[in-house]
A and B are shown apart, each in its own frame.
Chain A
Amino acid sequence: VSRFGLFSLQRVDYAVPLARLRKVLHQPRVHLLPRLPRELPRVVVADGGVVPVVDLLCKAETESQLSAPEYLILVDSECGPLALPADTTCGIVAEQKGTRSVTGEEGSPWWCGSFHYQNKTFQILDIDVLAIGLTQECPVLDPDSEGARRNQ
């Protein structure tokens, strides 16, 4: 049975395939290091290593959203573990309890579909596309960016 970990950030709801979800940290301590890329502005220490924190929308509205996230969702990607900030977590749900659509909303190349559950639409994150986007010179994180449009 396919399952999703559900969370939300800045009024956007996300779903991560459970197979990629490593752990959820509540009120973690995040750290600044010099010369971090704009899309990875903080790191968190987890499992004895340093994990980059992704500014998912590249639009953190306040410093506290970067420096004191309520949750961090740790996921495994082709490029190593990543931490995704979240305002709230919504649990783990089996795919069969909702409806999955193949196509995600436009403008987000790292969304690989959507999951409708309890009157909410969760954008399913393709963790590897997200990670590969972060390795590119012109990141795809900002849906409004030229890079994002090119990668659609």
Chain B
Amino acid sequence: MRQQVVDRYLIVRLSGVGCLLRLAEVVEVCKQIADQVDWQRADLSVGIVGSFNFRNASIPVVNPTLQLGLESGCSREDQAALVLSGAEGHWALLVDEVDGIAQASNFVACEIPLLLKNSISGYYSEIVLYRGEPMIVLEQDRFYGISVEVS
């Protein structure tokens, strides 16, 4: 059973861009969370946009579009939060949409073009193809506990 989870990815979208998270890293997918987030408790310098009440504990909410230089494609009310298990405890990642789950075998690893390596190297290191669409693999440690360069 454990093996099946490790081999699966959650597909989410940020500004229409397909992104993958290893399912084993996802604790829970929470939808319609706008009312449960204290947006005043933000620290944009590290990408934290608020604090989310999850299982009677406040956990930081990170908006990855700040780090990735994207503009969120939907309103806060329509966003979902992925609760992830990190080295410092639980935290939440805001996404525009949750598309579903797919087996790792459905993704084709893709070489990153030489001309793109410099500009994307600080943000992600894997591009895969899924049904002919390029998607990036989100790596937890690039989004939480780091300084964010907001563009």
Interface size class of B (residues with CB under 8 A): 20 to 34
> Which residues of A are found within 8 Å of B115, using beta-carbon distances?
37, 40, 52, 79-80, 82, 131, 134-135
Q: Given A34-B68, A43-B134, A45-B133: A80 and B119 within 8 A (CB)?
A: no
Answer yes or no: A35 CB below 8 A from chain B CBs: yes
Closest A residue to B132 by CB, please name it.
A45
Tell me which of B16, B69, B114, B132 contacts A35 (CB under 8 A): B69
Number of CB contacts from chain A to chain B under 8 A:
75
Q: A49-79, CB under 8 A of B: which get 1 and which 0? A: 1111000000000000000000000000001
B127 beta carbon closer than 8 Å to chain A: yes
User: Which A residues are in CB contact (< 8 Å) with B118?
Assistant: 37, 135
* Chain A residues close to B by CB (< 8 Å): 29, 31-37, 40, 43, 45, 48-52, 79-82, 131, 134-135
In the complex, 8 of the A-B residue pairs with CB atoms within 8 angstroms, ordered by the A residue number, are A33-B127, A34-B69, A34-B70, A34-B124, A35-B69, A48-B110, A52-B115, A80-B114
